[in-house]
Structure 1
Amino acid sequence: MIIVSIERSNGTIRGYTVKGHAGYLPPGEDIVCAAVSMLTQTTLLGLMRFIKEGLSYHIDSLGTLTCRLPEELSKKEQLQAQAILETMVMGLKNLQGNYKGYIRVFNRRWTS
């Protein structure tokens, strides 16, 4: 199962972590894994486009993706980042609804 943790502080997304494998189909054919990867990695690309300094991310050898926003963002950067991140969450929750048992999306309280 793919586990997505959305870290929030006062309703604002501060970061996200994606780990695991869906197991819906064999590796290389798994549409759930492909969809989650596309949503979360495109989100990272969008954030990198609009946040010029301080964005933190890491993808490890097992495929776990972790992304954190910087502590300080301009109002414009914050609005752009939240639009991108909330769109990702909508897509992930849609997948969760359509592929129960293969992906779970959780909201977590953010701590620095």
Structure 2
Amino acid sequence: MISVTMYKASGSYRGFRSEGHADYAEEGYDIICAAVSALTVNAVNSIEAFTEDAYTVGQDDGYLELTLEGSVSEKTQLLLDSMVLGLQGITDTYGKQYIELSFREV
């Protein structure tokens, strides 16, 4: 199962952590893993390309973590809202046995 935890403080995103594998299909054919990877990596790349917000990233096989530093722009908030919308769509379509989305106050 893929677990995505969104970090929030006072209603604003402070980052996220995505870890695990969906095990929906064999490696290379797992459309859920591919979709989650596309959404999370695109969010990080978009924050880098379209904002000046400071952040750190940790990445490994089946793991991606973004930590936002300092003040966070409205653009970054919108980009992460968009990522969450996509992740919720995957959960609604394929079920909670493959992806878990949670929110944690930090």
- If the length of structure 1 is used for normalisation, what is the TM-score? 0.88
5+ residue gaps, structure 1, are none
5+ residue gaps, structure 2, are none
User: Following TM superposition, where does structure 1 have runs of at least 4 consecutive aligned residues deviating by more than 4 angstroms?
Assistant: none
- If the length of structure 2 is used for normalisation, what is the TM-score? 0.93
Q: Give the whole-Å Cα distance in 2 for the aligned partners of 1:67 and 1:30.
A: 23
Q: Give the whole-Å Cα distance in 2 for the aligned partners of 1:53 and 1:89.
A: 19
| Equivalent position amino acid for 2:104 in 1 | R
- Partner in structure 2 of residue 31 of structure 1: 31
- Secondary structure at the counterpart of residue 42 of structure 2: helix
Cα RMSD, aligned residues only = 1.2
Q: Give the whole-Å Cα distance in 2 for the aligned partners of 1:105 and 1:53.
A: 24
| Equivalent position amino acid for 1:102 in 2 | Y
Number of aligned positions between the proteins: 105
1:85 is displaced (CA, Å) by 0.4
Change in CA separation of 1:97 and 1:10 when aligned onto 2, cut-off 3 Å: same
Matches within 5 A, 1:44-55: 44-52=44-52, 54-55=54-55
Q: Give the whole-Å Cα distance in 1 for the aligned partners of 2:74 and 2:53.
A: 16
Report the identity percentage.
33
